[in-house]
């Protein structure tokens, strides 16, 4: 293994004024790498059930954006091994300001905090915005100035509207689709693929003026419009 591969890589947060993440404005390098690093994925489900029913059939509503939680130490004692030289001579309050300027402060020019990319090694690249943070002070000088603080910061993955639309466009049930019927295709299954529910197959048969919904003719072009599911 080469010395380069053994080198300690610090977590770096890059900030940008625009959501194209092209022109970097500020960076913050964690002086000591995070104590914990938690990535959370969450699917939102409708779990409502009728009165008196003991169970439920969870229905998919949406996929929430991924969240990232990091915890790291800011130290002013100058005793921690491997501490980044840039911050070693800075007071803890100055280190906190460097961090919050990068990830938290409202920017008048863009009317919001900055867009961020968190990088750590070759595996972590997380475009995001900060959602919240906690600062826990645990060591103090005799005059009350902090000597150590623990940062707990949460970030929500950022994706532009254009990127989300590009992902959803091919299969969105809110858009018009056309399906060519192949030998053995069934209307209920074709309906399920588009609307994620086969119960609309009678409506699809009606809008396509089908005389039979059981025997679909191969080569037939089906029109599957957006449906009002209410």
Cα three-residue angle 172-173-175, rounded to 5 degrees: 75
Look up the pTM and report it: 0.67
For residue 145, which of 78, 94, 216, 203 has the smallest C-alpha distance? 94
| Bridge partners, residue 224, by sequence | 177
Q: If you ran DSSP here, which 8-state letter would residue 199 be given?
A: G
For residues 180 and 221, the answer to whether their CB atoms sit within 8 Å is yes
Specify the residue for token string 């254009």: 162
Q: Mean pLDDT: which of 1-5, 56-60, 83-87, 223-227 is highest?
A: 83-87
- For residue 26, give the DSSP letter: E
Return the pLDDT at 213: 82
SS3 221: strand
Q: What is the pLDDT of residues 121-161, one digit of tens each?
A: 877 899 999 999 999 999 999 999 999 999 999 999 998 76
Distance CA 166, CA 126 (A): 19
Nearest to 77 by CA among 33, 10, 31: 31
Work out the number of other CB atoms within 10 angstroms of the CB of residue 59. 11
Please report which confidence band the pLDDT of residue 45 belongs to, taking 50, 70 and 90 as the band edges.
Answer: confident
Instruction: Look at residues 75, 65, 186, 194 and name the one whose alpha carbon lies nearest to residue 130.
Output: 65
Of 17 and 196, more confident: 17
Q: Taking residues 24-38, what's their average pLDDT?
A: 92
- Who has greater pLDDT, 30 or 222? 30
Q: HSE, CB side, 13 Å, CA atoms: give it for residue 95.
A: 29
Q: Which range, of 18-22, 72-76, 173-177, averages the lowest pLDDT? A: 173-177
- Say which range, 20-34, 62-76, 209-223, has the weakest mean pLDDT: 209-223
169 pLDDT more than 60: no
CA–CA separation, 114 vs 111, rounded Å? Answer: 9
pLDDT band at residue 171 using 50, 70 and 90 as cut-offs: low
Angstrom distance (rounded) from CA 192 to CA 23: 44
State the DSSP string of 151-187: EEEEEEE---HHHHHHHHGGG-TTS-EEEE--TT--H
Closest CA to 160 of 127, 189, 133, 182: 127
- Look at residue 7 in the predicted model and tell me its pLDDT: 58
Strand partners, 150: 73, 136
Condensed to tens digits (0 to 9), the pLDDT of residues 86-117 reads 899 999 999 999 999 999 999 888 899 999 99
Q: How much is the mean pLDDT over the chain?
A: 86
**Joined tokens for residue 218:** 């191969």
For residue 54, the SS3 value is coil
């Amino acid at each position: 293994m080469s010395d380069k591969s053994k080198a300690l890589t610090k977590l770096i947060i890059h900030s940008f004024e625009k959501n194209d993440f092209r022109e970097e404005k500020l960076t913050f390098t964690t002086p000591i790498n995070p104590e914990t690093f938690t990535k959370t994925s969450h699917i939102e489900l409708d779990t409502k059930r009728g009165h008196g029913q003991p169970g439920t059939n969870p229905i998919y509503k949406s996929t929430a954006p991924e969240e990232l939680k990091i915890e790291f130490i800011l130290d002013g004692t100058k005793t921690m091994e491997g501490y980044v030289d840039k911050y070693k001579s800075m007071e803890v309050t100055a280190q906190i300001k460097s961090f919050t300027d990068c990830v938290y402060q409202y920017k008048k020019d863009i009317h919001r905090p900055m867009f961020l990319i968190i990088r750590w090694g070759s595996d972590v690249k997380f475009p995001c915005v900060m959602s919240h943070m906690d600062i826990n002070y645990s060591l103090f000088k005799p005059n009350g100035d902090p000597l150590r603080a623990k940062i707990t910061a949460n970030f929500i993955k950022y994706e532009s509207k254009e990127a989300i639309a590009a992902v959803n466009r091919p299969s969105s049930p809110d858009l018009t689709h056309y399906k060519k019927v192949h030998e053995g295709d069934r209307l209920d299954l074709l309906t399920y693929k588009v609307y994620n529910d086969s119960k609309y197959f009678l409506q699809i048969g009606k809008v396509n003026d089908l005389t039979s919904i059981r025997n679909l003719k191969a080569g037939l072009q089906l029109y599957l419009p957006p449906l009002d599911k209410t």
